[in-house]
């Protein structure tokens, strides 16, 4: 098996320079990088990650802890993190946290017990202070939701602004009975989106009707049942705002089955094959690739420069994409 020293001799550089190329470090000229990469290929050199672990006391790996790896948003986000980590020769360990906040600490600390160099995680409980002791040796970046009782880098999307845009669009088309469907205000993203919805109604001079706010659905079936309940009201909604893609996936077939597939619908979050549905739902377009890229970039900045103390909250914009479900204004009977 070839060694790093043999690669260095073949490329005419030092072993430290070979290490810099392998770790994709800056300040390596393109000519030197090419020579080293050529030597690596010719010698079939494989970096000894186990030796690196023994020297540093930590794995050449980071962890990603998210609510559900099957969620399209988090799956795409995680793939982006993996690609960036792979470019640095770093492995990624992934765990799903679920929705039970009481299980967060145990699952996250089981991941951190592997002596990782960094962690990207989504808070699901009301207290992340258990991570303070870990911060001394492990870089931590939160995504999607702000942490509580701890200061750390955080990457969010503009939940309030996105919900405001969606509701404003519907009220601008004359709808005065816009329903909000979401899981729980205990989830920070849902809470921010609800406030955005309420603020847009207020700014449009529309009195809020508590019957049009349905909180609680956590599965597609529950979301489908919720929308049927809404449509059975004496004064049903004339437009719908779904606060997450999972709810939307349950709502659409329920509307179709009830003969209401034409009701205007905006979803916070896109999902696969959404544009193939007729009419296709309009969406607040979350960009999981950007969230993953920004979070991973910030994490490796922390790993590379551990003494930088300034923690940042980065809020990414979310555009409104209008599709067939919201193209036409409300008719006079809908206003």
Question: What is the H or E stretch that residue 181 is in?
Answer: strand 178-182
Q: Given this model, what pLDDT does residue 197 score?
A: 98
Neighbours of 183 (CB within 10 A): 20
Task: Give residues with Cβ within 8 angstroms of 300, minimum separation 6.
Answer: 84, 88, 118
**pLDDT tens, residue by residue, 73-104:** 899 999 999 999 998 889 999 999 998 899 99
Q: Given this model, what pLDDT does residue 85 score?
A: 93
Q: Which residue has the higher pLDDT, 22 or 164?
A: 164
pLDDT at 265 > cutoff 60: yes
pLDDT at 157 > cutoff 80: yes
Average pLDDT score over residue span 307-335? 74
Q: Kindly indicate the confidence band of residue 334, based on its pLDDT and cuts at 50, 70 and 90.
A: very low
Average pLDDT score over residue span 160-177? 96
Find, among 140, 143, 89, 72, the residue nearest to 111 by Cα.
140
pLDDT at 190 > cutoff 60: yes
How many angstroms separate the most distant Cα atoms in the chain?
81
Average pLDDT score over residue span 221-234? 92
> What CA–CA distance (Å, rounded) separates 205 from 254?
30
Q: Given this model, what pLDDT does residue 19 score?
A: 84
Average pLDDT of the chain is 88
Q: Which residue has the higher pLDDT, 22 or 248?
A: 248
pLDDT over 90, % of the chain: 62
pTM for the model stands at 0.74
**pLDDT tens, residue by residue, 110-125:** 999 888 899 999 999 9
Q: Kindly indicate the confidence band of residue 290, based on its pLDDT and cuts at 50, 70 and 90.
A: very high
pLDDT at 327 > cutoff 70: no
* CA end-to-end span of the chain: 75
Q: Given this model, what pLDDT does residue 51 score?
A: 52
Q: Residue 148 corresponds to which tokens in the numbers above?
A: 């509580």
**pLDDT tens, residue by residue, 32-69:** 999 998 998 888 887 655 455 444 545 579 999 999 99
pLDDT at 216 > cutoff 60: yes
Do residues 140 and 131 touch, judged by C-beta distance below 8 A? Answer: yes
């Amino acid at each position: 098996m070839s060694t790093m020293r043999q690669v260095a001799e073949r490329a005419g550089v030092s072993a430290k320079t070979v290490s810099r190329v392998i770790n994709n470090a800056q300040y390596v000229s393109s000519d030197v990088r090419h020579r080293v990469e050529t030597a690596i290929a010719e010698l079939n050199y494989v970096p000894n990650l186990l030796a690196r672990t023994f020297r540093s006391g930590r794995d050449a790996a980071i962890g990603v802890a998210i609510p559900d790896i099957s969620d399209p948003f988090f799956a795409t986000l995680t793939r982006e993190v993996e690609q960036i980590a792979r470019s640095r020769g770093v492995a990624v360990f992934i765990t799903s946290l679920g929705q039970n906040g009481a299980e967060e600490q145990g699952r996250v600390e089981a991941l951190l017990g592997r002596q990782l160099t960094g962690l990207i995680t989504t808070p699901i409980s009301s207290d992340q202070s258990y991570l303070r002791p870990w911060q001394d040796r492990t870089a931590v970046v939160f995504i999607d939701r702000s942490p509580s009782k701890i200061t750390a880098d955080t990457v969010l999307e503009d939940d309030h602004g996105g919900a405001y845009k969606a509701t404003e669009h519907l009220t601008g088309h004359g709808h005065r009975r816009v329903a909000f469907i979401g899981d729980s205000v205990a989830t920070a993203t849902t809470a921010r989106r609800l406030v955005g919805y309420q603020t847009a109604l207020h700014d449009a001079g529309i009195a809020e009707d508590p019957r049009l706010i349905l909180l609680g659905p956590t599965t597609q079936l529950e979301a489908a049942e919720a929308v049927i309940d809404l449509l059975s009201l004496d004064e049903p909604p004339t437009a719908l705002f779904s606060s997450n893609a999972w709810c939307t996936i349950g709502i659409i077939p329920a509307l179709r089955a009830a003969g209401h597939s034409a009701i205007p619908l905006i979803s916070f979050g896109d999902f696969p094959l959404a544009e193939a549905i007729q009419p296709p739902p309009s969406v607040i377009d979350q960009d999981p690739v950007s969230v993953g890229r920004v979070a991973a970039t910030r994490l490796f900045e922390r790993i590379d420069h551990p003494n930088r103390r300034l923690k940042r909250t980065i809020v990414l914009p979310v555009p409104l994409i209008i599709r067939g479900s919201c193209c036409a204004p409300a008719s006079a009977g809908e206003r």
